[in-house]
Structure 1
Amino acid sequence: MVGGGLGGLGVSWRARPADSAYLGYARTLPMLERAVAGYPEVDVHPYQVALSRAALARALWGAGGDRDRARSLAREAIEALARGGRLGLGA
């Protein structure tokens, strides 16, 4: 379960208060990129996928990365959660 593990690490690392915001985002990008890329290959709950996509969107935006991609990832995360990803309801 590479995707889920790395997604959680990326979210946790970004939350560390000792890092400046930019440095924190830049450090998490590789982990979050790998996590999101690995999700199609593993069975992961939609909520975890949505959280990782949201975290990657935030990191891309915060590190000055691809804003269009960040918006797209954020939309995907919102849509997944709206379908009931958190509780496992819906699609």
Structure 2
Amino acid sequence: MGIFSILKDVYDDDICYDDIGFNTILFYKWVKSHIEEIRKEIKEERIFINFEDIVERWTSYYHKTKDTHLVHNAKLRRKKTIRGKGI
């Protein structure tokens, strides 16, 4: 799967995120310092810029959906308590 294919909508962004999104976010955290070193070494700030764009979008999406899931999970937990049950 290529980054350009995602950016040009050849591949569906949501499907790609569901498949590799979280791992890509974690991978970027691991290689970020290496990317910065490569940029300094070859004096090119645009290198890996498309990869970073996808990581930024997917990180934003991850935090948004994580917050939504936390709210839903809290509601489900409340419904499971005695206080949440009608008597």
TM-score (structure 2 length as normaliser): 0.37
TM-score (structure 1 length as normaliser): 0.36
